[in-house]
Amino acid sequence: MTLHEELDRLLSTLNVGDEKYAVKAVDILLDLAQRRLASDLHLLPDESRTHLVPYFRIDGVLEPVGRIAGGVNIVSRLKVLASLLTYRTDIPQEGRVKAESTESEVRISTFPTPHGEKAVVRFFVGSGDYRLLADLGYPEDIEQRLQEILQQTSGLLLTCGPSGAGKTTMLYAAIRHLQQPSSILRSICTLEDPVEAIIPGVSQSLVKPETEFNYERGLVSLMRQDPDVIMVGEIRNRETAEIVFQASLTGHLVLSTFHAGTAADAVGRLADMGIEPYLMRSGLTAILAQRLLRKLCSCHLSKESDCEKCRGRKYLGRVVAAELLETEATEVGKAILDRRDVQTVYELAKKSGMVPMLERARRMTVEGVTTLEECDRVFGPYFRKNMSSKLSET
């Protein structure tokens, strides 16, 4: 049964005239999205204004799931759940709902469009679902190095990639790794926006960028709390980056995420942000860049389209394509210090042993783990542009 058919079947038990219709329909939508492991649920108003067009994002890909009656009432119900202003439909709004069953949160955001409000529900990993470093499927060499880096008592480990590339999942897994019984007990503190999952034994704080308790002020205060390991949800500006580097140079292991396409790009972007090369050279331990690629389902060679596992999508689950740029490599460190361009940093990192994530992805297409089409979807034209010579070899 496709998702569309399943949703239709569930909704067919409801009566649109029922005063509880919107409440029940929203319950059905949220429950189905979570059971099908969707990361996001989109609800778009259509021209009729009486219906919404729902989409689920599963394994990074949007999937339409039909049409649902009761447009405005359904969006209103979501707004009630997230304590948003139901009478305001002309401004974007954002709120959170704490899921009852798990410790995790659901974020609901609305946006005005010509046909009415659009709503997007983002589901977070949930405390039961986040995994250990060893469960994330990094190549052995990268996993080994990550474990070694996590044993260090200072330095910064940055995880890069676009939204949905598994950066936060990696940070949570790293923290979980640090908490294993065999590890030395360390004081672990986080600053996050939002707190996606509760990790027992870790002091997690929710920062709000627009308030006094933002990343910068939070970090300054946190330093007085005697932390060994600090996780900063995201570096968004120079102020945060500078304090993060100071922390990493003063005996704290710092873990954070950063929006950059590749590991070498991250070096360039930090420099553009105004971070001094000497800070980067001494504070930065490594940059992990990654993407998630859908894995081929075992049914992909058969002609049948009704595979129960992948529901005819031919893909099932995802695999990580990653690259780890280490600044300890003398030449890479020197290039950073000399403010060399991104391409030079990239070439030197390769020379010192970094296997680029594009190359890792290409190898996975050869091994039949994923496809070239999936690489195109995830990396865009960048993939074929950089891999063209190697692709023609195989």
Residues near Zn ion, by CB under 5 A? 297, 299, 307, 309-310
Give the whole-angstrom CA distance, residue 233 versus residue 240. Answer: 11
Q: Which runs of E-coded beta strand occur in the chain?
A: 40-45, 51-58, 61-64, 68-69, 93-98, 105-113, 116-123, 155-160, 188-192, 203-206, 229-232, 253-258, 284-296, 315-326
DSSP tag of 193: S
Residue 89's Cβ-count burial label (10 Å; 0-12, 13-18, 19+) is middle
Choose between 302 and 394: whose C-beta lies nearer to Zn ion: 302
Q: Which is nearer to Zn ion, 202 or 316 (CB)?
A: 316
Residue owning tokens 């060399």: 340
CA distance 83 to 79: 6
Which distant-in-sequence residues (6+ apart) come within 8 Å of 246 by Cβ? Answer: 283
Q: Least distance (Å) from Zn ion to the CB of residue 300?
A: 7
- Which string of b and e fits 91-111 if b means at least 16 CB within 10 Å? eebebbbeeeebebbbbbbbe
Amino acid type, 120:
V
Nearer residue to Zn ion within complex by CB, 184 or 301: 301
Residue 41 beta carbon to Zn ion: minimum distance, rounded to whole angstroms: 23
Shortest reach from residue 317's CB to Zn ion, in Å: 11
Shortest reach from residue 369's CB to Zn ion, in Å: 14
Shortest spacing between CB 302 and Zn ion, in angstroms: 8
| Smallest distance, Zn ion to C-beta of residue 309, A | 5
What is the DSSP annotation of 161-188?
-STTSSHHHHHHHHHHHHTSTTSPP--E
State in angstroms the smallest separation of the CB of 304 from Zn ion: 9
**How does strand 105-113 pair with strand 93-98?**
antiparallel
CB of 170 to Zn ion, least distance (A): 27
Closest CA to 93 of 81, 105, 75, 108: 108
